[in-house]
Structure 1
Amino acid sequence: MAKPKRETFEPHEDYGFFGPGSVVWKVWSYPTAPTVGFQRAVVVEELDPPLVAAVHATQGIYRRARTRYDRTLKYFAMVAFAGTRQVCKAADILVKVHSKAIGRLPYGEGTYDANDPDSQLWIQLTGWHSILYAYEKYGPGKLTAEEEKEYWEACAVAAELQTCSPDTVPRSREGVRAYFEQMRPKLSASPIARQAMHHLLRTELVLPPVPRWARPASLVVARAQRIATIATLPRWMRELAGIRQSRALDALIVPVMKASFALAHLHPRIELALLGLISPSTVPVVAPVKLGIPPVNAEVLTPAQARERHGYAKPADAHLEFRARQATRVFGEGQQPSDQGLIESQEVLGPLT
């Protein structure tokens, strides 16, 4: 496992939307984020009927599990760490990618649209909540009251890069809990949701191929992360999805993972090498932060400032004609949506295969 060198990576154009000293960089740069935190997020998301309908229709998590994990993790890392031009471009193309994920709900009446603000809010909050939850459970522990306030304010800033409104983002832990309680009656462990959740808990699917002699160690790592992720899920959610794990395993995995993540966090090059195993596309995004490579411009922008400077529309207003054509193809003509956005996204988010 080669350790990445400082001179390998290009500096970001600026500090992005948060910058050094921010609680976002503190939490999202800890090794719990791309592992347990991110896995928890994508598993929990599947309980939302419109979201899992979109996931099931595209079949990306089944056909290309490793690249899907890699591309999605890269996007979230870009929001946290990358320069504002790069993030605005990624957010813009993601609207076109999501325009493909539209259709009729397979269970019950209604339609789904991955660009729907409610679906985007669900993704935003499950992601940010899961990253923080993993950091607290398997990392350094709880944030201070001031840090937590900053964290949820930052979550609202990041929401400006989605089609949802930042005004809908809770600004406290209590507000986030209230949101999840509000969502709970709407969640459903349908057959496709259960299938997706169990599939996404198979950590081995996102690990790279290894020589035969290394397979037992790889399976141990995958199994440990699976146990750790399940241990973060509330009991009612596990019962809903048919996920079984003893309370003993829930307790025993905590010291194991805390020690493992603490060791990985001792040296940034080790962290980057490990990150490269699960998400190689994310390494160039995180490396300048981990290795202390200063940006070209030492400034932090707001999303509004970045859009004005770089010439991008708000995601909610982006590509409206293209999205309308996609809807006409699917609902009016009974055809499959265009893959144009998905194809274009490879330049920004990485290859599909």
Structure 2
Amino acid sequence: MPNRLATRFERSFDADVRTKFFRHLEFREPVGDPGWFGPGSAVWYVHSHTPALVLGLVAAAYIEGLDPSISWMGYDHSRLVARDAAGVPTGAIDPEGGAVRLGHSVSFFIGTAYGTTETAERLARTVRAMHHTVKGVRPDGVRYDADEPEWLRWNYATVVWGLATAHERYHSAPLPDIDEYYAEFVRVGEALGGTGLPRTKKEVADCLESYLPKLAVTPIKAFGTGPNLRGNGVPPWQPGSAFLDWAARDMLPGWAQKLALYQRPNPVSLRWKRRVLKSAVNGIYTPLREFREAQARTASGTAAPVATTAPAVPDPARTREEVEAAL
């Protein structure tokens, strides 16, 4: 019997994500191309569960924004912030901009996971080019630069933590050894210019906690979380909703939950909310067409993946407008 929820999810994914953000991604050929990881990899397994992947990205974005510089990068440069006709931030969240950001993130983490090698490399070049344009000064005079090694390490650790944590908590059959995923995913961080990246669950946890002296809940962050989201009209399954905000904060490490003033529900309510979310995440799951295409591409065997994903030469200088035109 067909899974009607999964079919509806696939149709929604096609309308909201695939047709808008997958236009330049290739999963079918060349035959035998393993991409960056190949069939049987932990990354293929984790990223093929799209609903859990999206939930992990929501959690990653939450913890990432606890860095004040990240908050101001988003305020100054991101589509997440609504702007007036002159391009000046209004302080409000732009739901359409948030959907665009999530769509690009989903396409990146699916394309680099089991897209072709050329697809993964092009996606990484595009993200690096965008990072090169994100530079500025916070109101307190502190400069920020998305190319700084410390920022790249923080960004990497938040992403791999979010994806792995959502997988462990909400996948119906999580990997027995999650460190396999942590070790493989380093290739994505290195492709974006990261160095000295943590490679295990413990190393990532220690890395995140080591940044605690630099973290804070800025007014920008506080505006988009907790009680401020109640009654905002966003459906529970969409980013920016009070329910997904709860889910993200519920996955945070204990020290981060204290920073975010997370109030854990009573044990009965907590178990119920987690059970409902897990049921929903797995109820709408079905392997995407792109994953099935990647399986067919590699069914007859593959060559060895590229030896390294780290950039071999400096990227050419490109403006933000030039980068966005290539998306």
TM range (shorter): 0.7 to 0.9
The change in CA–CA distance for 1:219 and 1:257 in structure 2 (over 3 A counts) is closer
Q: How does 1:284-323 map to 2 (within 5 A)?
A: 287-290=289-292, 293-295=295-297, 298-302=302-306, 304=308, 313-314=311-312, 317-319=314-316, 322=317
Counterpart Cα distance in 1 of 2:257 and 2:29: 41
Counterpart Cα distance in 1 of 2:156 and 2:281: 24
Counterpart Cα distance in 1 of 2:150 and 2:217: 19
Please, what TM-score do these two structures have when normalized by structure 1?
A: 0.70
Counterpart Cα distance in 2 of 1:102 and 1:247: 43
CA contact (8 A) 1:31 1:264 kept: no
Displacement of 1:162 in angstroms is 0.9
| Structure 1: segments with no counterpart, 5+ residues | 208-217, 273-286, 308-312, 324-337, 347-353
Displacement of 1:219 in angstroms is 4.3
Secondary structure (helix, strand or coil) at the match of 1:295 reads helix
Compare 54-63 and 190-199 and name the one that shifted more: 190-199
Q: How does 1:81-230 map to 2 (within 5 A)?
A: 81-107=114-140, 109-140=141-172, 143-145=175-177, 148-165=178-195, 168-196=196-224, 218-219=235-236, 222=241, 224-230=243-249
CA contact (8 A) 2:217 2:260 kept: yes
Secondary structure (helix, strand or coil) at the match of 2:323 reads helix
The change in CA–CA distance for 1:303 and 1:89 in structure 2 (over 3 A counts) is farther
Displacement of 1:179 in angstroms is 1.0
Secondary structure (helix, strand or coil) at the match of 2:192 reads coil
Aligned to 1:277: none
Post-superposition CA distance 1:312-338 (Å, at most 9, x none): x447x323xx27xxxxxxxxxxxxxx4
CA contact (8 A) 1:227 1:253 kept: no
Counterpart Cα distance in 2 of 1:59 and 1:292: 32
Matched, 1:251 2:248: no
The change in CA–CA distance for 1:179 and 1:45 in structure 2 (over 3 A counts) is same
Aligned to 1:16: 35
Secondary structure (helix, strand or coil) at the match of 1:60 reads coil
Q: Give aligned pairs, total.
A: 287
Displacement of 1:142 in angstroms is 5.2
CA contact (8 A) 1:49 1:187 kept: yes
Post-superposition CA distance 1:189-210 (Å, at most 9, x none): 12223235569989x89x8xxx
Q: Over aligned residue pairs, what C-alpha RMSD do you find? A: 3.3
Q: How does 1:11-90 map to 2 (within 5 A)?
A: 11-13=28-30, 14-63=33-82, 64-90=97-123
Aligned to 2:87: none
Counterpart Cα distance in 2 of 1:38 and 1:198: 18
Counterpart Cα distance in 2 of 1:73 and 1:105: 29
The change in CA–CA distance for 1:245 and 1:90 in structure 2 (over 3 A counts) is same
Structure number having the greater helix percentage: 1
CA contact (8 A) 2:236 2:244 kept: no
Letter aligned with residue 257 of structure 1 = L
Post-superposition CA distance 1:273-304 (Å, at most 9, x none): xxxxxxxxxxxxxx331456522883342253
Aligned to 1:326: none
Letter aligned with residue 58 of structure 1 = H
CA contact (8 A) 1:97 1:341 kept: no
Secondary structure (helix, strand or coil) at the match of 1:115 reads coil
The change in CA–CA distance for 1:195 and 1:179 in structure 2 (over 3 A counts) is same
Counterpart Cα distance in 2 of 1:225 and 1:90: 27
The change in CA–CA distance for 1:175 and 1:345 in structure 2 (over 3 A counts) is same
Displacement of 1:95 in angstroms is 2.0
Letter aligned with residue 82 of structure 1 = G
Displacement of 1:10 in angstroms is 5.7
CA contact (8 A) 1:36 1:134 kept: yes
Secondary structure (helix, strand or coil) at the match of 1:15 reads coil
Please, what TM-score do these two structures have when normalized by structure 2?
A: 0.75
Counterpart Cα distance in 1 of 2:325 and 2:237: 37
